[in-house]
Each structure stands twice: as structure tokens, then as C-alpha cells.
Amino acid sequence: MVELLRRKSIKENIREMGPALVLLLVTLIISTFITEFTFSFGMKALWKTLFRFLRLSLLLTLPLFLLPSLCTLLEGIFNRGTRYLIQLPEDRDPAIHPLKNWVIRPFQGIGLAMLLATKLLTLLEFYTGSKITVATILPQGAFNVGRFFSLIAIGVVVSLLLSCLWTLDDLGVRHYNRKTREVRMIGKYIGLLLPIFFGFYGIISLFENNTQLIVAKYVAQMVVVLYPPFVVFNVLHSRYLKRREEVLLGRLKAVSGGIMMRGKDLASSSAV
């Protein structure tokens, strides 16, 4: 029975991460046998692509263990005065959905990562007084300490921010104002369209001295590299919520919406 459940879990993981695994396999085949696809070519692309995928996936996923502590922090921020965190059971939805987990959230993460990278590069340009070039942005053959730690910082920040927003959204946690009887969704749209738009726009603007074809090629390669790790991250995030839901709700001190509002109708519902 245990072995059967384990096999079932493995099959579910493969199915839920299907698009990421398919794109990773296609990338391996093209980069190894056909042409340079994601900044490498030949047999070295085989281990480089796999190692990069595992490294980025771990970088995004490991901060999930900090989620209970982050929920405690969020509780202290939002539970103040006449404002409380409540859970609306009808809005709870930690399940895997193709549109949400394979399209919206991966590109949400990619856009936010690009946005933070753009801001970091702009700060670096201001600090050094030199123009950021394509060579600075694209992967290099040699190991670079500054680049390595910058990637870690961006990955951890993106992981923690998205983990908080996704947790509140998937568990149906809302911000309730007892005085005005207003319920707000915390960050449902803040981390969606804006990071995608400004992140992609920021990266594209850094290639302003190149042709549109070259820019499209570089951005497409970045998306291909980042998409599989972000799919793995948000799928594992959903699985983590299913296992730790009670713990996280306890840390958030989110009470039932019906209890908090004492059976009265909501006055309004809007997004922060």
C-alpha cells in the first residue's frame, strides 16, 4: 500500500509538472544535438541545462520552509485595531489548475524576477558609472561571484514574496475591516500583471542597442530557462499548502469569515 501511494504521488508530480518537464526535454534535445538554444551548445549543454534547472528550482523552493514564520509576520502586520484576517472557505482553492499553475503564476514569477534584475542592474550602472552591456546581462562562461549572489538574492526575494501572496490567495484569506465591513483580497492582482509588464519591458529596454530580432531571441531564451523552475516552484507550493494548511492558518490567526462577520452580508469586496 505504501509503495502504491508512493508511485501514485510520483505520477501526480510528473503530471502536474508536465509542461516544465516537456520544455526541459525539448531544450536538452535542441541545445545538445541541433543548435545553441539557451546560451550553450553540445554535450556540455546537457549537464549545464540540468544543473541550472535543479539549481534554480532549489533556490525558489527552499524558502518555502520559512513560510510559517512569514505567516506569523503577516499576522502582526494585518491584525491591527478593527482589521482582521479572515478565511472565506468558499474562496479556498489550493488545487492545481492548468491556467493558474502553468501559465499565470510562472509568468508572474518570471516577470517579477526580471523586474528585480532590471532594478539591480540600474543600481549597478549608477554605482559604477558605466553602461550595462549585453555581456553583463547574459550568462557568461566563467563563474562570477557577484552574479552568483545577485541571482540568489533575486530568487529568494521572489520566492518569499510570491509564497506569501499565493498562500493568502489559495487559502481564501482576506483582510476584513470590522468598522466598514469591507473585505479586501490581499495582493491578488499586485503581483500579476504589473511585474509581467514592467519586468519584460525593463529587460527589453536594456537591449536597446540591438535589433528587435536579437532582443526577441534573448528574452525568449530567458523565458525558456526560467519557466520550468517556476512551474516546479508553484506546484510544490500548492502541495506544501495542502500539507501545512492548518499550521499556516494558525500562524495567520485567520478566523472563519462567518464567525467574524456574525452571519451578516459583506458590504463590498475589492482588490488591494
pLDDT at 69: 94
Q: Could you read off the pLDDT of 136-153 as tens digits, one per residue?
A: 566 655 566 767 788 888
pLDDT band at residue 90 using 50, 70 and 90 as cut-offs: confident
Give the number of domains in the chain.
Answer: 1
pLDDT at 136: 58
Q: Could you read off the pLDDT of 47-89 as tens digits, one per residue?
A: 888 888 999 999 999 999 999 999 999 888 888 877 888 888 8
pTM given for the model: 0.82
Per-residue pLDDT averaged across 200-216, rounded? 68
Per-residue pLDDT averaged across 150-160, rounded? 89
CA distance 12 to 10: 5
pLDDT at 228: 95
Q: 114 is in which domain, residue-wise? A: 2-271
